[in-house]
Each structure stands twice: as structure tokens, then as C-alpha cells.
Amino acid sequence: MFYGSMTAIITPFRDGDVDWKAFDNLLEWQIAEGTHGLVVCGTTGESPTLTDEEHKKIVERSVKLVKGRIPVIAGTGSNSTAKTIKTSQHAKEAGVDGVLIVTPYYNKPTQDGLYAHYSAIASAVDTPIVIYNIPGRSVIDMKPETIGRVARDHKNIVGVKDATSDISRVKATAAAVGREFDQLSGEDGVIYDFLEAGGVGCISVTSNVAPAACAALHNAWRADKKDEARKINERLMPLHKNLFVETSPAPVKYACARLGLCANELRLPMIPASSNARKAVDEAMQQAGIAAVQAAA
């Protein structure tokens, strides 16, 4: 259902508000560059600092603008099951192709608690669900066995965004669920190995900056041109690495600003990338053959 290069899109801000013109232009540019899908209101989109109304408007606007040309997935997860259900129901009504639901951070539920959380959501919201497992931010780790259990019981749980960087998890999850289950990497830096292990795509930060190259990597892979995919990935590796020299999305938002796509503005507690991080991003863009159009801030 979901595959290839799926951009975890940034949310552009200007003077404290969402920059809607820049947002519309970003989505159109992503589609024109060949991106296979869009994920809005995720971590890269600074979802924790969006108001409920902004979240709703972004989801509704994305669906209306994209018009079915590529899938739109909305980040709707929280550490409250009831709130997640409510937000996911709105996303379904808006017409999204799926929802991305992060494991409940801070609460630290058990594996049985995780099963109960996703089971309740899947029972309440009839739309494709992608589990987002990111222990580095959420503390908890949803095990392949738990993913398998809840996915077998709820057919609308169709995939996982795996941000563990543990390639062995791909085969373990496939063994628990089956190969029809969409496994999407949440880490750009391991994408080639992830695909080699049986994954089908990446919910990508790098593709905010290099959408055409990221799409070409996945297109080459799906065409069984593995050497071409490997070479593209090697060229992108400096970006995969340096877009995370500081907490995302600060570096990627700076990179997008250098491309003239948005202002280099984040919402507290996130702050713009430091001078050292900006230098690292500039070097990575140069190595990847991406020409900036804005002077370095």
C-alpha cells in the first residue's frame, strides 16, 4: 500500500504562524520531483507545537491540494489513546490515505499496553494505520511480536515506520506479520540495507532537501537496479548524516531555507541550527550536488 520515498514534510513558519503559501509550494514541489507519498504533521513537521486547529487545517489542506496524486498520511498519534482516536477520526474524515501513529511517549506502557492502545484505535478508526516505532524519542520499543499480534488482529494496521536502525528487525517483523506488511524505514542512513533486508520504503527527512534523488533511489531499487540505487544512496549519505547533527528538524529546516523553500524558523522549544550544524549541512548539500539559492544565515 505504502512504498518508496515518502517525505516527512516540514511545516514552514513565518513570524510565528504557519506559512501557508510556502506549505502549498512545498507539496507541489515534492509531487513534481517524483516523491511517492507525503507524511504531514509528523515529528519533522513539528507536530508537538502545532495547535489543534493548525493540525486540522494542515491535514485538510494537504488532501485538498494533493487531490489523490500521491498518498497523504497524517501523523495523528499522541500519548493519549482517546486523543489519538479523535485526531485520527478527523484525518479520516478529511480524506487521508492513512495515519501514522507513534508509540505513546512518556507514559511508558507495557507491550500489552501497546497492544491495547493500537487495538482500540484500529477498532475505532477504519483507515490504514502505520505504527511509528521510535524508541529514541518515545523511550519504549514496540517489539516485532507485539506488532505482529496487533496487525494480525486488525487488518487496517498495514505497516510500521521503523526508526530503530536495527536492520535485523525487518526480518523479525516480517516473520511476525508477513511480507505484505509495509515496512518503512524511519532512518535515512540505513535505507539501502533496510531495502535489502525486505523493507519497501522510507519515511524520509532527506527527501525534504533531495526529493528527486530519493525517489530515484527507490525507483531504481524497484526496477532491480540495485547498483544504481546504491550509488544514489552513497551520494546522499552526507545528507543522511548531517541533517541529524543536531535534533531534527533544525538542520533540515535550515537546508530548506537555503533552497528558498521556507524561512529558517522553528517553534520553541526547538531553535534554529547552530553555526556548526549549518556548516555541516552546507558541506553535505555540496557533496550531494545540491545547489543552495539563499546565502547562509
Yes or no: say if 194 and 167 are a contact pair by the CB < 8 Å rule: yes
Q: Residues 94, 133, 42, CA angle at the centre, nearest 5°? A: 40
92 is catalytic: no
Grid cell at residue 65: 491540494
Question: Which residues pair with residue 185 across a beta bridge?
Answer: 162, 202
Write the burial class of residue 289 (CB in 10 Å: 0-12 exposed, 13-18 middle, 19+ buried).
Answer: exposed
Amino acid, single-letter form, for residue 155: K
Question: How far apart, in whole angstroms, are the C-alpha atoms of residue 221 and residue 199?
Answer: 11
- Helix residue ranges, H only, 17-153: 20-32, 52-66, 81-94, 111-124, 135-138, 144-153
Residue of 3, 56, 92, 161 marked catalytic: 161
Query: What stretches of 187-291 adopt beta strand conformation (E)?
Result: 201-204
56 is catalytic: no
Residue of 3, 132, 192, 254 marked catalytic: 132
Which positions are catalytic?
132, 161
